[in-house]
Amino acid sequence: MVTEHWTPADIPPLQGRTALITGANSGIGYRTALVLARHGARVLLAGRRPESLAEAADRLRADVPDARLATVELDLGNLAAIRATAAPLAARETIDLLINNAGIMDVPERRTTHDGLELTVGTNHLGHFALTAHLMPALTRSAAARIVTVSAIAARWRSGDLSDLMSEQRYRPMAAYAKSKRANIVFTQELARRLAGSTHRALAVHPGSAVTNLQRHTSAGRMGRLFVALAAHTLMGSADGAAWPSLYAATHPAAAGGTFIGPAGRDQTSGTPRPVPLPAGADRPDLGAVLWRESERLTDLTFPPLPQT
């Protein structure tokens, strides 16, 4: 794959293409939506709070007056709500770019979703697994859809081992986050294998380090939150730059299915996007098959047939 210096200015025209972005009301998701709209894509802003989505749409239209936008109320922690949201889209839409961006991090105590799933993995991985499955008819209508799932550097941590996926034996906030982010990659690798031979691509990205609303659940207390805020000016990048890997994966002609995209800068915290190594073992077909089956069981769904050549 090409690894030249790349910026969003290199994105080709996207007129006639539709993108759905989860967590699009703020942070990386909003910046991704803004750039895609600037390049002519029709953008579906998906998020849990209608008022936040409306505010985001207003901000985006102020910047891109001719933007083609719609908002989609989506609760990734409620499987029935995901199904209800996706059903009309699956019936009538053609989705060319699905960017599974939304996430939560560092929830202080073990909590569960509406369906009794551990909240972090249930939202970050299983919610997006279910959404992708339910939207597959809309993705299949595209001539060449891309499914981009946002992971994190935390996917490389040893605490991200996928055993005890629901943290029933032991709950640690950042270990649950690492599990969810590793699951994002393992799911993407398995999806890419299943899409092999078709014109559709599944890619995973990590955004480097950026301070966004993702840190609102931090368990470190007031001083920890203060440290995170100060780090924004020294160690971490902006939401603008952190959106670049998602944008690259969604639009670069050479971005191949199964690729993991991250920033090229020191310690992969910021910089131009490029292919980066996968966490050790994340591309194992046996692990992918096990996670796929477990994800189907936990979400009580069977992934629909995938497009073939």
| Three-state SS annotation for 133-164 | HHCHHHHHHCCCCEEEEECCHHHHCHHHCCCC
| Residue 177 among the catalytic residues | yes
In sequence order, the 6+-apart residues with CB closer than 8 A to the CB of 96 are 17, 18, 19, 41, 142, 144, 145, 146
Strands across the sheet with 42-47, in order?
68-73, 42-47, 18-22, 97-100, 146-150, 201-205, 260-263, 273-275
Structure tokens at 114: 């509406």
Which of these is catalytic: 30, 171, 177, 248? 177
- Beta-bridge partners for 274: 262
Burial class (CB in 10 A: 0-12, 13-18, 19+), 117: buried
C-alpha span between 72 and 95 (Å, rounded): 13
Distance CA 64, CA 236 (A): 27
Torsion angle, alpha carbons of 48, 62, 206, 144, to 10: 90
Any idea which residues carry the catalytic annotation? 177
